[in-house]
Amino acid sequence: MPRKAQDYDDIPGTFVFDAERSREGYGINMFCMSLMKDENRKAFKANEAEYLKKFPLTPEQADAILKRDYNRMLELGGNIYFTAKLGATDGHSFRHLAAVMTASTQEDYAAMMLAGGRTVEGNRSKSGRDKPAGKIKSKSKTSKSRSKRG
């Protein structure tokens, strides 16, 4: 069954790990957590495709794991902190994974983060990509009533 579209799916480059993605990614995340044990890491590295058969993965999920397509793993329900265990099994730092996932070098990724991360301009939403950020209007009644109280 296809995932129900959410308002926050409009955030570019982001796959929000919500309850639905958590359920969808159960197999990915259980596989990644299994890599916390040395014997499991060795078994996985010895025969990756065979080891993955122990987990309830879709063909797309298994393919993303075998190709080390971290963005696709997140899209298919993987949790970034769990999938990082796969990177660690391969000897990669989180900084390396983040650079790969953002199509940049480790140095460029680190420099961007040290400078405060990506600008909001052009990154607020897919539909508003070319629109200036401007002011954010609150829809909350609570925030209006609080502002009246002073």
Express each pLDDT in 72-83 by its tens digit: 999 999 998 999
Higher pLDDT, 26 or 17: 26
Residue type, 47: N
Classify domain 7-149 at the CATH class level. Answer: mainly alpha
Q: Give percent of the chain with pLDDT exceeding 70.
A: 70
pTM score above 0.85: no
What b/e readout covers 52-63, taking b as 16+ CB neighbours within 10 angstroms? Answer: beebebeeebbe
Q: Between the ranges 3-7, 37-41, 125-129, where is the mean pLDDT highest?
A: 37-41
Q: Which residue pairs, CB below 8 angstroms and at least 24 apart, start in 35-40?
A: 35/85, 35/86, 35/88, 35/89, 36/85
**Alpha carbon of 143 to those of 133, 136, 137, 146, 149: distances in Å?**
20, 12, 10, 5, 10
Can you tell me the distance from the alpha carbon of 145 to that of 15, in angstroms, rounded to the nearest whole number? 33
Q: How confident is the model at residue 147 (pLDDT cuts 50, 70, 90)?
A: very low
What is the C-alpha radius of gyration for the chain, rounded to an integer number of angstroms?
Answer: 19
pLDDT of residue 109: 87
Residue 2 has pLDDT above 60, yes or no: yes
* Mean of pLDDT over the chain: 81
Maximal CA-CA distance, the chain: 65
Residue 92 CA, distance from chain mean position:
17
Higher pLDDT, 121 or 96: 96
Q: Which residues contact 132 (CB under 8 A, 6 or more apart)?
A: 121
Going from N- to C-terminal start, the domains of the chain cover 7-149
